[in-house]
Amino acid sequence: MKKNTEMPKIKVILVMALTADGFTARSSSEYTDWTSAADKKLFFDLSGKAGVVIMGNNTFKTLKAPLKNRLNIVMGKNELKTADAGVRFFSGNPLVLLEELESQGFKEVVLCGGAATNTVFFKMGLIDEAVFTISPLMFGRGISVFSEEINCDLVLKKFDKIDENTVMLRYLFKKEKS
Ligand SMILES: NC(=O)c1ccc[n+]([C@@H]2O[C@H](COP(=O)([O-])OP(=O)(O)OC[C@H]3O[C@@H](n4cnc5c(N)ncnc54)[C@H](OP(=O)(O)O)[C@@H]3O)[C@@H](O)[C@H]2O)c1
């Protein structure tokens, strides 16, 4: 689904690392530690440029620490006993969140999973672009980019070999088919 004119103009870029057989994790508690240095650099460059990342609570729980030098928005209830600098929990309407970020001056935001959170944003027509990196390994089964069936056309904007074994694909989201 394409953004309509009443939606915030802030650009939402979905950034996900995939295995060669299309999975993002083996389970919802797995930390993404299987990507290359070039992949990690790409993620930090994109999210650093945006200055803000949005992730689901399950993904946040897999991290050893919040991502440094950028605002971490965690979709879900705050289960932390202490306040973490640079982390904000949000359990309301994603549209309201994007409006708030836009009013704070952010021009783009990196949406970085997991599948459940990506699906919420997709179903509201909030995702503009996707950057997928394909790493040289396969899981056979696991978690996909989305947690539900979706139907979406993409336009390939850019592709690149970011290291010996890893490919980056950048897509524009067109529209959700009915
Ligand atoms: N390969 C990659 O690039 C990559 C990137 C990111 C994640 N991952 C993997 O993906 C897995 C996690 O994915 P997942 O689908 O299980 O979970 P997830 O999307 O990270 O988190 C889901 C949780 O987020 C909260 N949530 C999401 N949308 C919400 C909304 N609109 N309002 C309120 N709360 C909301 C809910 O938590 P509560 O209700 O419990 O608070 C929900 O249970 C992990 O294994 C992680 O490693 C991989």
pLDDT digits (tens, 9 = 90+) for 123-138: 999 999 999 999 999 9
pLDDT at residue 92 greater than cutoff 80: yes
Helix (H, G, I), strand (E, B) or coil at 146: coil
Residue of 31, 26, 81 whose CA lies nearest to 55? 31
pLDDT at residue 1 greater than cutoff 70: no
Give the domain extent around 131.
11-22+37-52+93-176
Query: Are 170 and 126 in contact, with CB atoms under 8 Å apart?
Result: no
Taking CA atoms only, the protein residue closest to ligand 1 atom 38 is: 76
Q: How many domains does the chain have?
A: 1
Can you give the CATH number for the domain in which 15 is found?
A: 3.40.430.10
133 within domain boundaries: yes
- Identify the residues whose C-beta falls under 6 Å from ligand 1: 16-17, 24-25, 27-32, 55-59, 62, 75-77, 91, 94, 112-117, 120, 143, 147
Could you tell me the pLDDT band of residue 78, with boundaries at 50, 70 and 90? Answer: confident
Residue of 133, 106, 102 whose CA lies nearest to 34? 133
Our mutation pick for probing the ligand 1 site, out of 16, 19, 27, 28, counting the most ligand atoms within 8 A of Cβ, is 28
Helix (H, G, I), strand (E, B) or coil at 172: strand
76 within domain boundaries: no
pLDDT at residue 20 greater than cutoff 60: yes
65 within domain boundaries: no
Taking CA atoms only, the protein residue closest to ligand 1 atom 46 is: 59
pLDDT at residue 2 greater than cutoff 60: no
